[in-house]
């Protein structure tokens, strides 16, 4: 009997892959558990960490995983490293289902940073009221952005808020459209947007709205991840799975 496909997910890409694989394949989607009340997924779901690369390797062995798909968020660098190490140890086929990064368009005013601490220090020079959309990132470094009012938008309340004297929180879940993003930026007097280069369409509208309104974007670059086999299109991922972990008897 062919073992399951393990998807490290929580992303739109992970959901789409699980939907295409079920019911022909046994699919297990692993969620980190950072988002409360996740929407139901096709197949089996597990929630929580593995305990590092060693814990993931033990899981791959015990569940006889046929192939591992890393469809985690582009900023989940530690999970990507653990996946690469565990897959190598267990000789489990691994593919990174990679979401292409956003690319600047004419009129965009992007200022890119490798580190959130450096971004926070530069923020007062970019604007007086920032909309911060950094997902599950550790926001404590934003304590250094004195001189800029901060409005944080997140799906769930951040575990730890920055120590900042002028702070507001919006709880909302995408996808967001251009009209709504333009209205939010205008009505709240936002003059700088803080974002990660997450890619995808669900939150792209905020960048388009910022460009339309002439607002600069302080963009946190993607972290380095291990070099592994990767694909950006769903059909390519499905073909790779067919080759790497064919169903027994076919």
Taking all residues of the chain, what is their mean pLDDT, rounded to a whole number? 93
Q: What is the pLDDT of residue 32?
A: 81
Q: What is the pLDDT of residue 36?
A: 56
Is the model more confident about 2 or about 167? Answer: 167
Tell me the per-residue pLDDT of 122-142, one tens digit each, with 9 for 90 and over.
Answer: 999 999 999 999 987 889 999
Q: How confident is the model at residue 53 (pLDDT cuts 50, 70, 90)?
A: very high
Show Cβ contacts of residue 32 under 8 Å, excluding neighbours closer than 6 positions: 10, 47, 48, 49, 72, 76, 79
- The answer to whether the beta carbons of residues 202 and 175 sit under 8 Å apart is yes
Of 24-38, 86-100, 142-156, 172-186, the poorest mean pLDDT is in 24-38
Q: What is the pLDDT of residue 71?
A: 96
Radius of gyration of the chain (CA): 20
Alpha-carbon span 33 to 10, nearest angstrom:
9
Q: What is the pLDDT of residue 137?
A: 80
Average pLDDT of span 155-176: 90
Average pLDDT of span 3-12: 92
Alpha-carbon span 178 to 184, nearest angstrom:
10
Relative to beta strand 129-133, strand 149-154 is parallel
- The answer to whether the beta carbons of residues 97 and 13 sit under 8 Å apart is yes
Q: How confident is the model at residue 247 (pLDDT cuts 50, 70, 90)?
A: confident
Q: What is the pLDDT of residue 174?
A: 84
State what percent of residues in the chain have pLDDT above 70. Answer: 96
Q: Does 163 score more than 90 pLDDT?
A: yes
For 241, counting Cβ atoms within 10 Å of its Cβ (0-12 exposed, 13-18 middle, 19+ buried), the class is buried
Tell me the per-residue pLDDT of 56-105, one tens digit each, with 9 for 90 and over.
Answer: 999 999 999 999 999 999 999 999 999 999 999 999 999 999 999 999 99
β-sheet bridge partners, residue 112: 219
Q: How confident is the model at residue 250 (pLDDT cuts 50, 70, 90)?
A: low
């Amino acid at each position: 009997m062919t073992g399951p496909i393990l998807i490290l997910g929580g992303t739109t890409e992970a959901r789409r892959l699980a939907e295409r694989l079920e019911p022909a394949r046994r699919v297990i989607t692993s969620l980190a558990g950072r988002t409360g009340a996740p929407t139901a997924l096709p197949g089996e779901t597990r929630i929580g960490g593995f305990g590092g690369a060693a814990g993931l390797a033990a899981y791959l062995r015990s569940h006889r995983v046929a192939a591992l798909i890393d469809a985690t968020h582009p900023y989940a660098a530690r999970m990507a490293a653990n996946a690469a190490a565990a897959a190598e140890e267990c000789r489990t086929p691994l593919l990174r289902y990679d979401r292409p990064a956003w690319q600047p368009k004419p009129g965009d005013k992007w200022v890119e940073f490798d580190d959130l601490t450096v971004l926070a220090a530069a923020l007062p020079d970019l604007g007086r009221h920032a909309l911060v959309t950094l997902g599950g990132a550790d926001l404590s470094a934003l304590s250094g952005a004195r001189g800029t009012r901060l409005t944080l938008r997140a799906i769930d309340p951040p575990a730890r808020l920055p120590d900042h004297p002028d702070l507001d929180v919006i709880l909302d879940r995408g996808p967001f459209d251009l009209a709504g993003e333009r209205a939010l930026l205008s009505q709240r007097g936002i003059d700088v947007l803080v974002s990660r280069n997450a890619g995808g369409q669900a939150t792209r509208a905020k960048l388009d709205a910022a460009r339309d309104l002439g607002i600069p974007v302080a963009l946190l670059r993607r972290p380095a991840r291990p070099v592994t086999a990767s694909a950006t299109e769903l059909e390519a991922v499905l073909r790779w799975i067919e080759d790497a972990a064919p169903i027994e008897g076919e």
